[in-house]
Amino acid sequence: MKRAALFDLDGTLTDPKLGITRSIQHALRKRGRPVPHADQLESLIGPPLEQSFREHFGMSPGDARQAVGDYREYFAEKGLFENAVYPGIAELLAALRGRQLRLAVATSKPTVFAERILTHFGLADRFEGVIGSHLDGGRVDKGELIRDALAALRVGAADAVHVGDRRHDVLGARANGVTAIAVGWGYGTREELLAAEPHELVESVAALSRLLLL
C-alpha cells in the first residue's frame, strides 16, 4: 500500500457543476458573449479557467484574465457552495486516514477557494495539505501542483498515488512519476482518460476504496 494519496477536487471529491457553470455563465454575460447551457460547459470543469476561456471562447489573454475575475465575483459569493460531495467520499477519506495514509489535495482551483469548500463540507481535517493555484494565476499546471504536494507531505513519488477525473490529472501525475488513478464519475470522458494512459481507471468510489486500501 502507498504512503500517500493526492486528490483532485472538482469532479473527484465533489460535484461542482452547478456553481462552476453558473460562474462561467456570469463571466460570459459580463464579457458580452453568448451564454451556453450548463450542459455545454461541462468540459470546462477541471482545467485552468484562464486557459479554458482562451481555448473555448477565443478570448485574448487579457480578456481571459478579466473573465476569470468576473467568474470569481459569482463563485466567491454563491458558486463556491453550489456543490456536493460525491457519495462515499467522506467514508473513503476516513478509512484512508484510519490506515495511516497521508492525504493532500492538489487542485488547479485557487487554494483559498479549495480550503473554504473542504471546510464547508467537513472534509478539511482529512488532509494534511491543500495545494492549489494562486489568485494571480500562478501554479495552475497539474504537474507543478502535484510536485508541490509531494514536497508538502515530504514523500517520494514512488510512495504516492494521484486520483483525478481529467487528462491533465493523469499527465501531471505521470510527469512526476506518481501512480495515476483516473476516476470515471467526474467530467473527463472515458476516451479522454484512456488516451492519457492512467495506471488505473475506476468507475466507482467503492472500486477506488478497494484499490487504495489493498
CATH number for the domain that contains residue 52? 1.10.150.240
Residue 97 and residue 35 share a domain: no
**Per-residue model confidence (pLDDT) at position 85:** 98
Residue 41 and residue 91 share a domain: no
Residue 189 and residue 119 share a domain: yes
**Per-residue model confidence (pLDDT) at position 47:** 83
Cell 484510519 locates to 98
pTM for the complete prediction?
A: 0.91
Taking the chain (214 residues) in runs of 10, the rounded mean pLDDT of each run is: 93 96 96 94 89 93 94 94 97 96 96 96 97 88 97 97 97 98 96 97 97 90
What does the DSSP 8-state code read for residue 10?
Answer: B
Residue 105 and residue 32 share a domain: no
CATH number for the domain that contains residue 177? 3.40.50.1000
CB 57 within 8 A of CB 28: yes
Which residues participate in catalysis according to the annotation?
8
Residues 6+ apart with CB under 8 A from 173: 6, 142, 146, 161, 162, 164, 179, 180, 198
CA dihedral 45, 173, 109, 135 (to 10 degrees): -140
Residue 132 and residue 63 share a domain: no
Residue 152 and residue 62 share a domain: no
Residue 113 and residue 9 share a domain: yes
Q: What domain range includes position 29?
A: 17-81
